[in-house]
A and B are shown apart, each in its own frame.
Chain A
Amino acid sequence: MVVFHAVLPFVLAPLLAGLINKTKAVFAGRRGAPLLQPYYDLGKLLGKGAVYSATTTWIFRAGPLIGLAATVAACLVAPLGGRPGPLSFEGDVILFAYVLGLSRFFTVIAALDTGSSFEGMGASREVHFSTLVEPALWLGLAALVRITGQFSLHGVFSTLSPDVWTAHAPALALVATAFGIVFLAENARIPVDDPNTHLELTMIHEVMVLDHGGPDLALIEYASALRLWILGSLVVGPLLPQSGEGWEAVSFVAALAALAVATGVVESTLPRLRLLGVPKLLVGAGVMSSLALVLALV
């Protein structure tokens, strides 16, 4: 059972991306790619050779490896339903945030390694937005720690019994909303970034990985899928009261799927923000987190 829980995210994560795309297709009146398309893409990319720019160094090749290794480590910390992650410990929220930072750091320097001005532009935007996400993330976590008195992600989410949940519903809703914005920003979704944009000049995340191909791109895509899963679990966690039943993993996965569908709806109905407008959204998330903290304190 434990092994099943540990393996589940690694198997199901690409499905979330498929769900988002399917939702968007439905909204656009298309039939869309099959739900399992992300798996086919990964398989195809893994079957290819590699092309490396002559400007690049070993940093460019190490970027996808470290990016995925760090994301997997974050995945090992993240809880699933009422179950702790295999690597869960008291204070694991710190590790969770910082391995994601490690992954981002190497994505950014791998982009700079190509010497392309477009990839530099994407890298610059990435570090800008991710810096503004930090206060929202940490103040939100602080509010959750305050409410539950627990120091690990599993502890926090498994303490949210229906009683605790009803007592702190406004604060939890604010945290979930703030984390929802963090989720959209960190996963490069609309309204922060558009994964389907076709112009290098307007991209953020996609432009950073422009020069990666073949198995390297597969690693990057898989890491993105995992990030969708683990940051999604941060959004779902505060919204789902836990009672310690065995079927909670099922409801958890269902909630993640619903989140993916909601993301697809957001992407179909909202325009992308202007780049200068994004910081306002992210600071807004920080304000919501601090408000949640204030509510949790009184």
Chain B
Amino acid sequence: MPEILLLFLLLAGMFVILSGGAACLLVRTPGAARRLGAASVVAGSLLGILPAIAILLGGGPISAETDWAMPFGRLSIGLDALSAWFLLGILGLSAVSALYSLDYSRREHTHGRTGAREFLFSALVLSMALVVVAQNALLFLLAWEVMALTSFFLVTSESEKESVRRAGWIYLVASQAGAAFVLVLFLLMGRESGSTDFDAWIGLAGRWAHPSALFVLALVGFGAKAGFMPLHVWLPEAHPAAPSHVSALMSGVMIKTGLYGLLRVMLFLGPPDPSWAWALLALGATSGVLGVLFALAQHDLKRLLAYHSIENIGIIALGLGLGLMGIATERPLLAAAGFAGGLLHILNHAIFKGLLFLAAGAAVQSTATRDIDRLGGLLKPMPRTGFSFLVGSIAICGLPPLNGFVSEALIYYGALRGMVDGLPWPVASAVVLASLGIIGGLACACFAKAFGVVFLGSPRSAAAEPPKEAGTWMQAPMFILSGACLAIGLAAPVAVGLVAPVVEQITSTFAQPSSAVSGLEGIARSISVASFILLGLLLLLAGVRFLVLRGRPVRGAVTWDCGYAKPTPRMQYTASSFAQPLTHFFGGFLRTRAHGGRPEGLFPRPTAAFSSHTPDVCTEEAYAPLFQGALALFSRLKGFQHGRLQLYVLYVSVTLLGLLILKLR
């Protein structure tokens, strides 16, 4: 397709999203605002996704630029393979989340601010798209800030709740602190190159004065958005507080803009130092293992999912770290496998985490609780939501035949490849293999818990009203995303083919042979064959059992109760008891706290109770003391600020006098 047409589609898509969102502010009726907002996001995303797909299918990069009022650069946007890859996830997930919000928002209380919320949602989508297409640092930062602020307002949608206000506050502080690092990074790069245009920066690749310092700034600034441990503390607060379609978007794609920023800056910096790869691997292993451990200890369904985002960012970092290692040591196949696995996992995580948040949102909305231990047996009243949650669970555990397996297998493959090369890379590979193995095991445990306790068994508490299946507009997005999980699992070679131009862009920037990605075709083809065989075997066995059971008695009965006369639903294993052996085993990291007293005496008083919770260690041990200290320090300045106008006038006059003396001297 001609470049100008692709550019037009991209701009038209962004214009549709912006104008639709703005128009929502003017619409009075909530229903109309919801429909207008959703329709414009869906239409705009579908328009904008076309150029992204065209570029990933082999089209060349597109770009456009014009003069603007800002100094040191031009207003320029562009879409290369890297941007297109992220844009695909952002717009795809935005479209389905917008569809979902049609029914979801109808049941939420919006305090007459439906129009404003629709506008904010559109602005969030637009700003995320703008972040990945910006080709100028100022435009990037502008979009970055709009993205942080719109998502902050969406997180605090239910600002009447104390916990939501606290979550919003933590989120705001974390995102601004991260942005400060990005700002310093861009200022330094701008000073050295004399321009804020990305084009000028890529020209300096390999010739920066202190590339490692710039890399560290990028790692901290963008890592705070991505949610690397220990910069993750805002994720488990903000994601549960937000409305579910916003959580899906934030967890699925918004945190990935942090990874985009990191990758983009690495392209500017040029040939990587091996220590960068080690840093990414260490961060990845820590985030991955601790993320899933903390997820396992949670009782709040959406908080659990938020911790899994940290885990998956860890897996992605392991992949990218391996890729970087491959580049630093000039091993093309290792680089290809690491980057392909990491990048594909970025898209895969957007799909299955979006799916999980949407399904969890439906469950939470119909039961009015996020506490896993109060739920149970939801698969019967909500079969379609439950099925979708199951698909998402299998995918996120990286089990075949779904998409999570494809990307994790590529990372594993890269690590195994790295195993046979010279020292010290086998050590890095061993770290990746062992971490991925533990992460895989723990993720299975965690999602067996989440799905099993929420959707299976019997309800653990009597609901005020029986839960109802989600509306059609909520089901359709879940089915679309479930289908995408299966499609990528079955068509692994196609997925690897789509990600290939992105990998080639990265490796060719570092002057590596770009043909190495084709070395991954074999394993991708084998994975898809294996997935088809697995499905075929399943159908075959189902047929066999059907034939065997035909004409035989198939009866219903009660669950074997081991001789107990009156088992009650409360005697079922809960999420906490299910996870207890593992949380106990890893207690040194988790520091789970128990509350309540044991039953004592022959006739125990009915007040005996037990509950436990696992607060975030980083929040408690690092950030709380840090901010307390800062507060104590700054509260000494309070003496200057006490609301007496005379004193303020005195400050002003003294300052003026001082300036005057300084000038006269």
A residues engaging B (CB < 8 A)? 46, 48-57, 59, 65-66, 68-70, 72-73, 76-77, 87, 89-95, 97-99, 101-102, 104-105, 108-109, 112-118, 120-121, 123-125, 127-128, 130-135, 137-139, 141-142, 145-146, 149, 151, 200, 210-211, 214-216, 219, 279, 290, 293, 297
Contacts and interface: CB of A to CB of B under 8 A. Distances in A.
Contacts of B399: 98, 101-102, 105
B545 A115 contact: no
Nearest to A100: B399
Contacts of B427: 297
Nearest to A130: B441
A113 B549 contact: no
A92 B526 contact: yes
A149 B420 contact: yes
B529 A102 contact: no
B445 interface: yes
B400 A138 contact: no
B560 interface: yes
B409 A124 contact: no
Contacts of A116: 559-562, 567, 572
B419 A142 contact: yes
B567 A117 contact: yes
B308 to A, nearest CB: 15
B301 to A, nearest CB: 16
Interface of B: 376-377, 379-380, 390, 394, 397-400, 405, 408-409, 412-413, 415-417, 419-420, 423, 426-427, 429-430, 433-434, 436-438, 440-442, 444-445, 447-449, 451-453, 456-458, 522-523, 526-527, 529-530, 533-534, 537-538, 540-542, 545, 548-549, 552-562, 567, 569, 571-573, 577-582, 585
15 contacts: A54-B556, A57-B456, A69-B541, A95-B527, A95-B530, A105-B399, A108-B448, A115-B377, A117-B567, A117-B573, A128-B582, A130-B445, A132-B585, A134-B438, A293-B430
Given A115-B572, A116-B560, A142-B416, 9 more contacts: A56-B559, A91-B526, A94-B413, A109-B448, A127-B445, A142-B419, A145-B416, A146-B426, A219-B541
A146 B420 contact: yes
A249 to B, nearest CB: 23
B9 to A, nearest CB: 38
A115 B394 contact: no
A48 B552 contact: yes
A78 B607 CA distance: 56
Contacts of B549: 49-50, 214-215
Contact of B397 (A105, A113, A117, A123): A105
Contact of B437 (A95, A102, A138): A138
A73 B530 contact: yes
A75 B433 CA distance: 22
Given A120-B577, A279-B585, A55 B558 contact: yes
Given A49-B552, A54-B557, A135 B445 contact: no
Given A89-B523, A138-B434, A53 B556 contact: yes
A233 B529 CA distance: 23
A101 B397 contact: yes
A73 B535 CA distance: 10
Given A73-B533, A87-B533, A92-B526, A98 B440 contact: yes
Closest 5 CB pairs of A and B: A120-B573, A112-B452, A131-B441, A115-B457, A89-B526
Given A104-B444, A124-B577, A211-B560, A138 B433 contact: yes
Nearest to A124: B578
Contact of A98 (B398, B433, B562): B398
Contacts of A124: 573, 577-581
Contacts of A138: 433-434, 436-437
Contact of A114 (B540, B559, B571): B559
A11 B397 CA distance: 32
- By DSSP majority rule, is chain A's interface helix, strand, loop, or mixed? helix
A51 B552 contact: no
Nearest to B561: A116
Contacts of B553: 49-50
Contacts of A101: 397, 399, 440-441, 444
A217 to B, nearest CB: 12
B412 A91 contact: yes
A50 B379 contact: no
Given A69-B534, A134-B440, A215-B545, A98 B405 contact: yes
Contact of A54 (B426, B538, B558): B558
A151 B416 contact: yes
Q: Which of B398, B441, B449, B538: most chain A Cβ within 10 A?
A: B441
A68 B529 CA distance: 18
Given A89-B523, A114-B457, A210-B560, A123 B541 contact: no
Q: Which of A89, A108, A114, A117: most chain B Cβ within 10 A?
A: A117
A50 B562 CA distance: 19
Nearest to B439: A134
B432 to A, nearest CB: 9
A219 to B, nearest CB: 7
Contacts of A123: 448, 452, 573, 578
Contacts of A121: 573
A89 B522 contact: yes
B555 A51 contact: yes
A26 to B, nearest CB: 33
Q: Which of A113, A120, A137, A146: most chain B Cβ within 10 A?
A: A120
